[in-house]
Chains A and B, each alone.
Chain A
Amino acid sequence: MKVIEANKLPGLAAALAGAGYRVVAPIRDGGEVRMVVWSPGAAIDTRAIPVNSAKDFLFPKAEIIGRCTLDGNDFRPEDVKPVAPKTVILAARPCDASAMLLLDAVFNWDYKDEFFNARRAATTIVSLVCTTADEQCFCTSVGGAPDATAGADGVLRQADGGRSFILEPLTEKGKAVAAAAGAALAEGQAKADAPVEVPVHFDAKAVTEWLGENFESPLWREVSLACLSCGACAYACPTCHCFDLQDEATRAESVRLRNWDTCGLALFTAHAGGHNPRPDQAARWRQRVMHKFSYLVERLGRLGCTGCGRCARLCPAGMAICETCREIDEARKAAVK
Chain B
Amino acid sequence: MEMIDALRADAAKVLADGRAKVVIGYQARGDHRAPLFVTTADRAASLVYDDACKQNLAVYLRKPEVKLLGKAAVVASPAAMRSLVLLMSESQLTGDDALVLAVGVGEYHGVLELAQVAPLLKEKYAALAPSPELLREIEKLAAKTPEERAAFWAKQFAKCTRCYACRAACPGCYCTRCIVEKNVPQWISTAAAGHGNYAWNVIRAFHLAGRCTGCGACEAACPQGIPLMLLNVLLGQEVEKEFETKAGYDPEAKPVIGSWNPEDEEDFIK
Interface residues of A (CB under 8 A from B): 30-32, 51, 61-62, 135, 221, 224-226, 228-232, 234-236, 244, 246, 248, 257, 259-260, 262, 265, 267, 280-282, 312, 314, 316-320, 323
Q: Evaluate whether A232 and B223 lie within 8 angstroms (CB atoms) in the complex, with A61-B161, A246-B190 already known.
A: yes
Within 8 A of A (CB), among B138-169: 161-165, 167-169
Q: B15 CB to closest chain A CB, in angstroms?
A: 16
B37 & A228 in contact (Cβ 8 Å cutoff): no
Across the interface, B165 reaches (CB within 8 A) one of A61, A226, A228, A318, namely A228
In the complex, what residues of A have CB within 8 A of residue B37's CB?
Answer: 225-226
In the complex, what residues of B have CB within 8 A of residue A257's CB?
Answer: 190-191
Q: Evaluate whether A230 and B63 lie within 8 angstroms (CB atoms) in the complex, with A248-B190, A316-B217 already known.
A: no
Q: Is B32 an interface residue (CB 8 A)?
A: yes
Query: Could you tell me the distance between the alpha carbons of A162 and B140 in the complex, rounded to whole angstroms?
Result: 39
CB nearest neighbor in A for B32: A318
In the complex, what residues of B have CB within 8 A of residue A234's CB?
Answer: 163
Query: Could you tell me the distance between the alpha carbons of A257 and B193 in the complex, rounded to whole angstroms?
Result: 11
A225 & B35 in contact (Cβ 8 Å cutoff): yes
Q: A232-B163, A259-B192, A260-B161 are in contact. List 4 more A-B contacts (CB 8 A).
A: A61-B161, A231-B165, A257-B190, A314-B223
Across the interface, B191 reaches (CB within 8 A) one of A135, A231, A259, A314, namely A259
In the complex, what residues of A have CB within 8 A of residue B59's CB?
Answer: 228
Q: Is B242 an interface residue (CB 8 A)?
A: no
A62 & B193 in contact (Cβ 8 Å cutoff): yes
Q: Is B66 an interface residue (CB 8 A)?
A: yes
Number of interface residues of B (CB under 8 A): 37
22 contacts between A and B (CB under 8 A): A226-B35, A228-B63, A228-B169, A230-B164, A230-B168, A232-B163, A232-B223, A235-B161, A246-B190, A248-B189, A259-B192, A260-B162, A280-B65, A282-B65, A314-B165, A316-B55, A317-B169, A318-B34, A319-B34, A320-B29, A320-B34, A323-B29
B191 & A235 in contact (Cβ 8 Å cutoff): no
A224 & B29 in contact (Cβ 8 Å cutoff): no
Query: Could you tell me the distance between the alpha carbons of A248 and B193 in the complex, rounded to whole angstroms?
Result: 13
A231 & B163 in contact (Cβ 8 Å cutoff): yes
Query: Could you tell me the distance between the alpha carbons of A323 and B27 in the complex, rounded to whole angstroms?
Result: 14
Q: Evaluate whether A229 and B168 lie within 8 angstroms (CB atoms) in the complex, with A221-B65, A280-B64 already known.
A: yes
Query: Could you tell me the distance between the alpha carbons of A30 and B225 in the complex, rounded to whole angstroms?
Result: 10
B35 & A318 in contact (Cβ 8 Å cutoff): yes
Query: Could you tell me the distance between the alpha carbons of A281 and B225 in the complex, rounded to whole angstroms?
Result: 25
CB nearest neighbor in B for A51: B223
Across the interface, A267 reaches (CB within 8 A) one of B181, B186, B189, B193, namely B181
Interface centre among A30, A31, A235 (most CB of B within 10 A): A235
In the complex, what residues of B have CB within 8 A of residue A282's CB?
Answer: 65
Q: Is B266 an interface residue (CB 8 A)?
A: no
Q: A49 CB to closest chain B CB, in angstroms?
A: 13
Q: A121 CB to closest chain B CB, in angstroms?
A: 24
CB nearest neighbor in A for B27: A318
Query: Could you tell me the distance between the alpha carbons of A221 and B66 in the complex, rounded to whole angstroms?
Result: 10
Query: Could you tell me the distance between the alpha carbons of A312 and B193 in the complex, rounded to whole angstroms?
Result: 25
Q: Evaluate whether A281 and B31 lie within 8 angstroms (CB atoms) in the complex, with A62-B192, A62-B193, A231-B162 already known.
A: no
Within 8 A of A (CB), among B49-71: 55, 59-60, 63-66
Q: Is B106 an interface residue (CB 8 A)?
A: no
A61 & B223 in contact (Cβ 8 Å cutoff): no
A316 & B165 in contact (Cβ 8 Å cutoff): yes
CB nearest neighbor in B for A234: B163
A231 & B32 in contact (Cβ 8 Å cutoff): no
Query: Could you tell me the distance between the alpha carbons of A225 and B163 in the complex, rounded to whole angstroms?
Result: 19
Q: 3 closest Cβ contacts across the A-B interface? A: A318-B34, A316-B221, A231-B163
Q: Evaluate whether A230 and B163 lie within 8 angstroms (CB atoms) in the complex, with A224-B65, A244-B190 already known.
A: yes
A61 & B190 in contact (Cβ 8 Å cutoff): no
Query: Could you tell me the distance between the alpha carbons of A53 and B30 in the complex, rounded to whole angstroms?
Result: 23
B31 & A316 in contact (Cβ 8 Å cutoff): no
Query: Could you tell me the distance between the alpha carbons of A282 and B63 in the complex, rounded to whole angstroms?
Result: 12
A61 & B193 in contact (Cβ 8 Å cutoff): yes
Across the interface, A318 reaches (CB within 8 A) one of B29, B65, B189, namely B29
In the complex, what residues of B have CB within 8 A of residue A228's CB?
Answer: 59, 63, 165, 168-169
A61 & B220 in contact (Cβ 8 Å cutoff): no
Q: Is B13 an interface residue (CB 8 A)?
A: no
